[in-house]
A and B are shown apart, each in its own frame.
Chain A
Amino acid sequence: MPLPDAKPDRRIYELLKNTDLENITFSEFQGVAKTIFAEQGAEDELRRIVLLNLARLSVVGEWTGLTTAGGGGGGSVTQSPMPLSDTLSATYPYFQPTDMYKVTLIDNTIAQVESYAQFIRFVAPKTGTINFFGIRTNSNQSGLDVVKIGIYDSDTDGYPKDRLANFSIDVNGSSGLYSTSISVSVTAGETYYAAFCSAGVAIPSLSQQANGDEFLALGLTHYPGTPYNVIFNNLGTIFDIPATFDKADATLARQNQPSWVVKYS
């Protein structure tokens, strides 16, 4: 039976699935709860956080400090380490679905790799060095141009900022996974962008995600309006992964976008 009048949970219990009260650590609990917004729309989550914390502490032991003077405790804020073994916990706490972006808008569904760079936002799930970047093709791409790719950090407004890595992947050949070695240091919870464009007019076709279907949670949204999934540099330089991002060159867009993967060293 859920909390009275609450909607079904999609976060707290999902992220803590297979964890029992006796074994859950404060860090695990904190990692799931800390990025919840203190807003009416998240009230069910707030109730579940309080319920879960009290339940967790009910199992820890008798609440002797509750009825004695000078119970102590408190102390400084503890920052939880990222639970690397749990994909959901490692990633979802950093998604912020109400981020606002204010560049102008376009809405089209053109090629997942374009002649102008498109920036796809991602949030590093853990701190470390990314040393592998891969993309995939579904068909033979012989005779087509290479894919130019850049990794960017972000500014205080959440836009792409400076290029951290600049490389290309040649997908000429039969369908399959194509990759390259890179070295980019990232910090857990920070926003980054992967930018893609073709090196020439013979644009290769990559495995892709249609429009925003897989990326709505990454924050490119005019809440509560239409969500956008990429920043498109269609007013910038053609066939270019710029060294720095310029808002004047960009629009928000709903576009097909390449499927891509990174690995940490």
Chain B
Amino acid sequence: MPLPGATTKEGRVYALLKGQTLESLTGQLAAGEFLPEVGNPISIEELNEDELRRLVLVKLAVESVRADWVGLTS
């Protein structure tokens, strides 16, 4: 099931991330590495709003798994 109201078409984000687990992506977060490059390029326009949402969702999910967010509460 896609994000609410999103098109069901599998766009850039999930196509590039196919086969990657959240754990495997935790080591590919630095600038120039795999996950940031998934969003490069995605032009900032309404047409790409679903892709922006998916990119943020995956980023938050990976960061959720990477380590505890101790900095948030201290």
Contacts and interface: CB of A to CB of B under 8 A. Distances in A.
Given A75-B67, A78-B67, A35 B72 contact: no
Interface in B31-74: 54, 57-58, 60-62, 64-74
Given A49-B22, A65-B72, A38 B61 contact: yes
B73 A65 contact: yes
Interface string A17-43: 000000000100110011111111001
A34 B22 contact: yes
B14 A39 contact: yes
Interface stretch (A53-61, A107-115, A177-185): A53-61
Contacts of A63: 72-73
Contact of B23 (A5, A34, A43, A98): A34
Contacts of A7: 1
Contacts of A6: 1
A64 interface: yes
A215 B73 CA distance: 43
Interface residues of A, number: 39
A63 to B, nearest CB: 5
A65 B5 CA distance: 33
Contacts of A72: 70-71, 74
A97 to B, nearest CB: 12
B72 to A, nearest CB: 5
A36 B22 contact: yes
Contacts of A46: 22, 57-58, 61
Contacts of B73: 57, 60-65
Nearest to A71: B71
A50 interface: yes
B22 A35 contact: yes
Nearest to B17: A38
Which of A38, A43, A50, A74 has the most C-beta atoms of chain B within 10 angstroms of its own C-beta? Answer: A38
A7 B68 CA distance: 27
Contact of B20 (A30, A38, A61): A38
Nearest to B20: A38
Given A29-B64, A60-B73, A71-B71, 5 more contacts: A4-B4, A37-B19, A37-B21, A43-B14, A71-B72
Interface of B: 1-5, 10, 14, 17-23, 25-27, 54, 57-58, 60-62, 64-74
29 contacts: A5-B2, A26-B68, A33-B61, A34-B21, A35-B21, A35-B22, A36-B21, A36-B22, A36-B61, A38-B21, A38-B25, A38-B61, A39-B18, A40-B2, A44-B1, A46-B57, A49-B64, A49-B65, A50-B64, A53-B69, A61-B73, A63-B73, A65-B72, A65-B74, A71-B72, A72-B70, A72-B71, A72-B74, A73-B71
Interface of A: 4-7, 26, 29-30, 33-40, 43-44, 46-47, 49-50, 53, 57, 60-66, 71-78, 98
